């Protein structure tokens, strides 16, 4: 099967992670992504280092999120750069931007500005907190969005205070939401010939990720979730749900009836309300599981149909995960459509690496 988005061109003005993640998903499905960057240093993510490793002078994070894309440097505050951007857009299918609200309007590249140029344009925008409201002009940064969304009160144990998710979950989820919306817009375009403006924000994406908790909270007298004192994994689910320290390693236990789990742990009297008595029940289970290594418990309980899993490191994941893991190392598109679909590129472009070729292809003025 050929890549489903083959032949589509995406002009991506976005920086850092959320917008580039959306365009990466489209690239992995076959789209061509042209990354428009500031001539003065390019995407700020090029210098956002998460390790001492550099690839082609830029951070590993930049390459992870921009692999396989083309780069052209345009000064959008200069008439020549702005004209070049509009020419690129006129010949493209999708535009993505994640400037702060108001910036894209001042540049003259907002959806409303571009509709006369290309009436069927599909346009994607990501902001931190939407285009209006008290937070609309605040920095749309992942950790700050996690803090404002309520998400930090779901992870960790009761005495830990707020615990952020240990990866940029706001950026990734917002980028995934935008990619989903753009795919729906492409389907709408195929049926009607009309373009549309798809919008999301880091805050909305994080609230969507909490749909289970927020729905429970709103339907349950707004009783907040309660984290366990140890091994907390879900603020609403009852015992034994959680993570348990064993003689060595840790074991995750999912939904298992107590009257079934008790005999398997030599705790025949393990009984009580899994919600009201959750803390006491989990403490009994904790004491029992410390008698053996997590690997032994996983084998023993798993053979009896208990939903459990040993907590693995990346090295252990790679050694034991089999085919799905091998397909995702290095990371790539996490789905297949009629076979293998995905980008083979492993690095991103140098700043303006494709500028000359793109200027010639799209009829832009030579770089000054």
pLDDT band, residue 341 (cuts 50/70/90): low
Give which of 127, 133, 167 is closest to 151, Cα–Cα.
167
What's the whole-model pTM score?
0.92
Strands in 70-73's sheet, in edge-to-edge order, are 70-73, 32-37, 9-12, 94-97, 122-127, 196-201
Burial of 185 (0-12, 13-18, 19+ CB in 10 A): buried
Whole-number percent of the chain with pLDDT over 70: 96
What is the predicted pLDDT for the residue at 49? 66
- Which is it for strands 250-253 and 196-201: parallel, antiparallel or unpaired? unpaired
Contact (CB, 8 A) for 175 and 98 = no
What is the predicted pLDDT for the residue at 1? 64
Calpha distance 351→38 (Å, rounded): 9
Which phi and psi angles does 309 have, rounded to 5°? -155, 140
Take residue 336 and report the two structure tokens written for it: 């297949």
What is the predicted pLDDT for the residue at 51? 67
Label residues 342-367 b or e (16+ Cβ within 10 Å = b).
bbeeebbbebbbbbeebbeebebeee
pLDDT band, residue 48 (cuts 50/70/90): confident
Active site annotation includes 171? yes
What is the predicted pLDDT for the residue at 346? 80
Label residues 51-78 b or e (16+ Cβ within 10 Å = b).
eeeeeeebbbbbbbbbbbbbbbbbebee
User: Residue range 6-10: average pLDDT?
Assistant: 97
Which phi and psi angles does 303 have, rounded to 5°? -65, -20
What is the predicted pLDDT for the residue at 339? 63
Label residues 225-262 b or e (16+ Cβ within 10 Å = b).
eebbebbbbbbbbbbbbbbbebeebebbbeebebeebb
Task: Classify 325 as helix, strand or coil.
Answer: helix
Q: What average pLDDT does the structure give for the chain?
A: 93
The CATH 3.30.1540.10 domain(s) of the chain lie at 242-320
DSSP bridge partners of 126: 200
The CATH 3.40.50.10540 domain(s) of the chain lie at 9-209+343-362
Label residues 290-307 b or e (16+ Cβ within 10 Å = b).
eebbbebbbeebeeeebe
Fold of the 9-209+343-362 domain: Rossmann fold (3.40.50)
Calpha distance 232→155 (Å, rounded): 7
Give the architecture (CATH level 2) of 242-320: 2-Layer Sandwich (3.30)
Catalytic one of 12, 43, 142, 171: 171
Chain centroid to Cα 218, Å, comes to 26
What are the pLDDT digits (tens) for 317-339? 999 999 888 888 888 888 877 76
Which of 43-47, 52-56, 184-188 is the least confident region? 52-56
User: Residue range 138-159: average pLDDT?
Assistant: 94
């Amino acid at each position: 099967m050929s890549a489903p988005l083959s032949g589509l061109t995406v002009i991506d003005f976005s920086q850092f992670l959320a917008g580039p993640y959306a365009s990466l998903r489209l690239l992995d499905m076959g789209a061509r992504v042209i990354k428009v960057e500031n001539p003065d240093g390019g995407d700020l993510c090029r210098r956002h280092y998460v390790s001492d490793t550099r690839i082609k002078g830029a951070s590993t994070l930049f390459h992870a999120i921009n692999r396989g894309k083309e780069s052209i440097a345009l000064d959008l505050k200069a008439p020549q750069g702005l004209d070049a951007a509009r020419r690129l857009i006129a010949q493209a299918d999708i535009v993505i931007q994640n400037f702060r609200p108001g910036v894209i309007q001042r540049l003259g590249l907002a959806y409303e500005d571009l509709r006369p140029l290309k009436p069927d344009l599909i346009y994607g925008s990501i902001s931190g907190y939407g285009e209006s409201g008290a937070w609309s002009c605040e920095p749309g940064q992942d950790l700050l969005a996690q803090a404002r969304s309520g998400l930090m009160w779901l992870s960790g144990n009761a005495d830990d205070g707020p615990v952020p998710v240990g990866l940029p979950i706001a950026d990734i989820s917002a980028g995934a939401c935008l990619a989903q919306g753009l795919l729906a817009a492409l389907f709408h375009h195929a049926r009607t010939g009309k373009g549309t403006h798809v919008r999301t924000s880091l805050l909305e994406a994080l609230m969507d990720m909490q749909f289970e908790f927020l729905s429970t909270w709103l339907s349950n007298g707004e009783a907040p979730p309660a984290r366990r004192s140890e091994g907390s994994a879900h603020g609403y689910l009852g015992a034994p749900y959680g993570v348990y320290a064993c003689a060595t390693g840790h074991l995750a236990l999912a939904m298992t009836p107590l009257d079934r789990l008790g005999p398997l742990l030599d705790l025949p009297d393990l009984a009580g309300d899994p919600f009201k008595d959750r803390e006491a029940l989990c403490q009994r289970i904790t004491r029992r599981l410390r008698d053996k290594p997590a690997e032994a418990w996983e084998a023993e309980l798993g053979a009896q149909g208990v939903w459990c899993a040993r907590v693995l490191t990346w090295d252990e994941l790679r050694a034991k995960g089999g085919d799905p893991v091998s397909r995702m190392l290095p990371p790539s598109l996490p789905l297949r459509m009629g076979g293998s679909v995905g980008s083979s590129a492993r690095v991103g472009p140098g700043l303006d690496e494709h500028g000359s070729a793109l200027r010639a292809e799209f009829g832009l003025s030579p770089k000054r």
